Chain A
Amino acid sequence: MIDHAALELINITKRFGSIVAVDSISLRVEQGEFFSLLGPSGCGKSTTLRMIAGFETPSSGQLYLDGQEGSELPPFRRSTNLVFQSYALFPHLSVRDNVAYGPKRARKSKRDIARLVEDALRTVKMMEYADRLPKALSGGQRQRVALARGIVNRPAVLLLDEPLGALDLKLRREMQIELKQIQREVGICFVYVTHDQEEALTLSDRIAVMNGGRIEQLGTPEEIYRHPRTRFCADFIGEANLIEVTVDQVDSGRPLQVVLPGGESMRVLSHSCDGFVEAGESATLVVRPQHLILQPDRSVHAEMAGLKVRMDNSIFQGSVVRSELSGVDGLRLSALSVDSAQVNPVGGHPQWATWSIHNCHLVANKERRTKP
């Protein structure tokens, strides 16, 4: 029935004076999708969000909300609602009146307002606090009210600006799960801004990883984790060992060959370098810590690659043991292994860190402009 996206940005750019905060980004968010903008602070994610909400006007580009062009509309005429990091609840209004604020401005009938407010408060499990003032609520409860206030208007897109940022870790985990449930329940498209990659991975249907005002990669959490397009994505999403390698052979139709720091050659099965590397150039191999296997000797196996390393430190972390390793040319690696009562010796003999060639990914070192 609905054939247009909930939100579509086409070549949106925002300049503040000479600074380019958002650099020609394009993305399309579908109806009912949980979409995250993920990136370090200053990457342009908040500016993007504020442009969608209408608090900033794009310098160029188009913005479609529910199929309608809206880059020039003021915030109060947009079908978006924003959940602020500071919640921004109206301190003089009760929980009920805070949530009713939007429907009242839309001149809904008294009965409709009461029903909508009740629905929203039930959704966030805050019905019993309806008559309290915001100052009488805890941080988590305020968070829920802010959420109820956002969804009560049934916006085309609900924008959330690091909404869990002010909560402690435990409450945050709980709220993540609940947020996801609420989103499924109400079916509204959520656009979620965060710098917490774990949170983004947990919650999102799709993630746009932003850096320096651009989108580095756009995809499902699994895609981004398994097949990062850039070094930045590999480093920012999850933990990664980044190993500098030299490309040996680029031959269409045959797997890439790279040379590892130890001089060993290796076949690359998974990469995102098409057209970006030439033979003789350097590239970065991404190996996740849990894929590194420590062995006393180099076992020769065609499917395994390896580096000679020395154990610097071994840290017991409960379910896993983390090993800090150093290799040639100051290369530092870390490996995670399932706790197995076997303590790796620190210092002493050199060891081998090996990994399966199925469990690694190659990214180009050259900067690339991404057109999703």
Chain B
Amino acid sequence: MVAVRGLNMTSPSSVGFWTLTRRRRGTSAVESVFLVIMAGLLFGPIVLLAAFSFNDSSIIGFPFRGFTLDWYREAMDESAAWESLRASLTIAIMVTPVCLFLGILSAFGLSRFRFRFRGAVSSFIFLSLVIPWLLIGVSGLIFFSAVEVRLSLWTVGAMHVVIAFPLVTALLSAQLVRLDPHIHEASLDLGATERETLRHVIVPLLLPTIGASAVFVFSWSFNNFIVSFFTAGFDNTFPIWVFSSLRQAGDLPIVNAIATLVSFVQIILIVGIWQLLRIRLERRGHDIRDVVAGA
């Protein structure tokens, strides 16, 4: 039963390990320190970059020489960076709906029907989640040259679709499997056609998962470096621009200012969207933990 219902079944962590071994509830001091270290590992670099983006020094490091917004002012003139940002955003905005469309189609096809070769088809779709991005990027490079398609942001977009839509398939299939099959039958039984059932029951129940998938896909595409690197030709996406700037080790404080701006916007957007999804999910009796763990 636990396996079927997944996370919903297990009670929240308050009935955790330590309460049962007669320790006090919650984290111990050691654990709290561990959590802080892990947070430092995950977010420290970005926070420090942000702090030093206001330092009046061309070297990113101590001592702190004074507050300045000069790097941000100079960043405004860094047209290559803004160009690459625009390219990354455009690709992500175009890739996301395509991935949602393909992901929804394939998730329904895989989880709502039983047919011959179903196992083979599903393995094939999920294979692209296991194959390293390096391989996908390199093979894309050779492939487009073999079929004589000039590398551009279009080829980057096509490869992003390939690496990202199976993620949507995975998230949605997991959610579809979790749905009580009787809910679907109940809708038919109450006089709804298949189409009405889809519209009034299935899609509303899947909507938060579709939203979460969109966040993941958008981020994957926006952040992807390795596949873009091999398939972008002479075009730049934002991660490629960061990479080449770091390799050349040019005006790093300017790169820092731009990176900080980008991270800031990302954090605001992602936290906001997750919060929204969390509320929607909870209203539908789902648990956001299922969606995150599904990823």
Contacts and interface: CB of A to CB of B under 8 A. Distances in A.
Contacts of A102: 190-191
B285 A88 contact: no
A90 B186 contact: yes
Contact of A92 (B180, B182, B196, B283): B283
Contacts of A153: 190-191
Would you list the 8 A-B pairs with minimal beta carbon distance, nearest first?
Answer: A88-B182, A91-B285, A102-B190, A88-B186, A135-B285, A105-B191, A75-B188, A92-B284
Q: Tell me which of B187, B188, B191, B284 has the highest count of chain A C-beta atoms within 10 A of its own C-beta.
A: B191
Nearest to B185: A55
Given A91-B205, A91-B285, A106 B186 contact: no
A126 to B, nearest CB: 17
A92 B188 contact: no
A101 B188 CA distance: 11
B58 interface: no
11 contacts: A76-B188, A86-B180, A88-B186, A90-B205, A91-B284, A101-B200, A105-B190, A106-B191, A134-B285, A149-B186, A153-B190
Contact of A76 (B183, B189, B284, B286): B189
Interface in A79-121: 80-82, 84, 86, 88-92, 101-102, 105-106
B182 A90 contact: no
Interface in B177-226: 180, 182-183, 185-193, 196, 200-201, 204-205
A106 to B, nearest CB: 6
Q: What does DSSP make chain B's interface, helix, strand, loop or mixed?
A: helix
A106 B189 CA distance: 12
Contact of A88 (B183, B192, B196): B183
Contacts of B205: 90-92
A191 to B, nearest CB: 13
Contacts of A80: 189
Interface of B: 180, 182-183, 185-193, 196, 200-201, 204-205, 283-286
A53 interface: yes
Q: Which of A74, A77, A80, A105 has the most CB of B within 10 A?
A: A105
A197 to B, nearest CB: 25
Contacts of A130: none
Interface in A125-153: 133-135, 149, 153
A88 B183 CA distance: 5
Interface residues of A, number: 27
Contacts of A74: 188
Nearest to B186: A88
Contacts of A82: 185-186, 189
A105 B185 contact: no
Interface in A47-62: 53-55
A92 B192 CA distance: 16
A53 B187 CA distance: 12
Most chain A CB atoms below 10 A, which of B186, B283, B284: B186
A149 B185 contact: no
Given A90-B201, A91-B205, A92-B205, A75 B189 contact: yes
Given A55-B185, A75-B185, A86-B180, A92 B190 contact: no
Contacts of A134: 285
B192 A101 contact: yes
Nearest to A92: B284
A171 B197 CA distance: 32
A105 to B, nearest CB: 4
Nearest to A91: B285
A94 to B, nearest CB: 10
B192 A86 contact: no
Contact of B283 (A84, A105, A133): A133
A91 B286 CA distance: 9
B186 A76 contact: no
Contacts of B283: 92, 133
A72 to B, nearest CB: 15
Nearest to B182: A88
Nearest to B204: A92
A90 B179 CA distance: 10
Given A91-B205, A105-B191, 13 more contacts: A54-B188, A76-B190, A77-B191, A78-B189, A82-B185, A82-B189, A86-B180, A88-B182, A88-B185, A91-B284, A91-B286, A102-B190, A135-B285
Contacts of A106: 191
Nearest to B201: A90
A86 B189 contact: no
Contacts of B286: 91
Contacts of B186: 82, 84, 88-90, 149
A148 to B, nearest CB: 12
Nearest to B183: A88
Contacts of A92: 201, 204-205, 283-285
A78 B191 CA distance: 8
Most buried by A among B189, B191, B205: B189
Contact of A53 (B189, B193, B201): B189
Contacts of A84: 182, 185-186
B285 A81 contact: no
A168 B88 CA distance: 58
A76 B195 CA distance: 11
Contacts of B188: 54-55, 74-76
A77 B192 CA distance: 9
